[in-house]
Structure 1
């Protein structure tokens, strides 16, 4: 396999997935209500989408059990994880039956909010569309809670990378 393989032409996706694994991304737990109970999953495909109005873009795999509730919800929560939440990341990445057991959380209106996440965004779903094997969900942010914490990042298919602030410069 070479770095120049053409994924769109039907060649193996291994080169593409390997290339994307080298893109550093944050990790977030996305939550909503499903049949009166909390539902959540870990995502690494998340980004700021717009400032006016403040919006985020989240991408969810079609195989996720939370896909149906997320595509039909009015509101959802985005919890950007800090380095202290590696266990939470592993829990919400799993296919466990009750991911909220043993995790401190509370209802923020209709949205389950993880108490320990350093960044919490309560969002109103404004757009949902499919692309390939994933669904894109855009949410307009209606509430933001931010605490200072080192981020937990995903790099080369590992959760346990930490970024350190020393020597960093603001743009």
Structure 2
């Protein structure tokens, strides 16, 4: 065992997750088509711009998610950055419910399930997938975008309804 591994294995999980919960992050739903043809999707908070040439995003998937395997094997996927009025959608896709798409407005964009209300939609071609620890990293090259004006839904300290502050005023 190296000194780095020794330190990492000694780090209490609760302390690490508490520290990371204090990092404000946007929330997105990542979707794809399963092998049987049905849509699948999950909520992620670990997402970022990865490259501008070519335009790419990096998404992190928990191994315990039921959508992890379809996303790790997909050719295409969608990233839907949620707006501040989409807390219900976030909670639906964070759940382990059987049909997360029931009651949510969506349509097929080719082989990618697209959530109609999301203010930011990125259709991606999967370019790289690798595992690290208990998560999978998925890198996608963006092939289509749709952007509408909206305040983002952000997560802070495990709360989806945290508001942004402008000029000292909290905005829900």
Secondary structure of the corresponding residue to residue 20 of structure 1: helix
Per the TM alignment, residue 7 of structure 1 is displaced from its structure 2 partner at its CA by 5.7
Provide the rounded CA distance (Å) in 2 between the counterparts of 1:95 and 1:9: 29
Q: Residue by residue, what CA displacement relative to the aligned partner does 1:80-139 show, whole Å, maximum 9, x if unpaired?
A: 000010000000000000000000000000000000000000000000000000000000
The question of whether the paired residues in 2 share the 8 Å contact of 1:83 and 1:150 is answered with: yes
Q: Does 1:110 align with 2:111?
A: yes
Per the TM alignment, residue 29 of structure 1 is displaced from its structure 2 partner at its CA by 0.1
Provide the rounded CA distance (Å) in 1 between the counterparts of 2:154 and 2:104: 20
The question of whether the paired residues in 2 share the 8 Å contact of 1:152 and 1:163 is answered with: no
Spell out the pairing of 1:130-149 with structure 2 (5 A cutoff). Answer: 130-149=131-150
The question of whether the paired residues in 2 share the 8 Å contact of 1:150 and 1:164 is answered with: no
Q: What is aligned with 2:12?
A: 12
Structure 1 unaligned spans of 5+ = 1-5
Q: What is aligned with 1:56?
A: 57
Provide the rounded CA distance (Å) in 2 between the counterparts of 1:143 and 1:166: 35
Structure 2 unaligned spans of 5+ = 1-5
Q: Does 1:45 align with 2:39?
A: no
Cα distance change on mapping 1:166 and 1:150 into 2, 3 Å: farther
Q: What is aligned with 1:31?
A: 31
Q: Residue by residue, what CA displacement relative to the aligned partner does 1:12-53 show, whole Å, maximum 9, x if unpaired?
A: 211111100000000000000011011000000000000000
When the two chains are superposed, the root-mean-square deviation of aligned CA atoms in Å is 1.4
Q: What is aligned with 2:71?
A: 70
Q: Provide TM-score, normalisation by structure 1.
A: 0.91
Provide the rounded CA distance (Å) in 2 between the counterparts of 1:100 and 1:108: 15
4+ residue runs over 3 A deviation: 164-167
Cα distance change on mapping 1:29 and 1:70 into 2, 3 Å: same
Q: Provide TM-score, normalisation by structure 2.
A: 0.91
Q: Does 1:100 align with 2:101?
A: yes
Q: Judge which range, 109-118 or 9-18, deviates more.
A: 9-18
Per the TM alignment, residue 10 of structure 1 is displaced from its structure 2 partner at its CA by 1.6
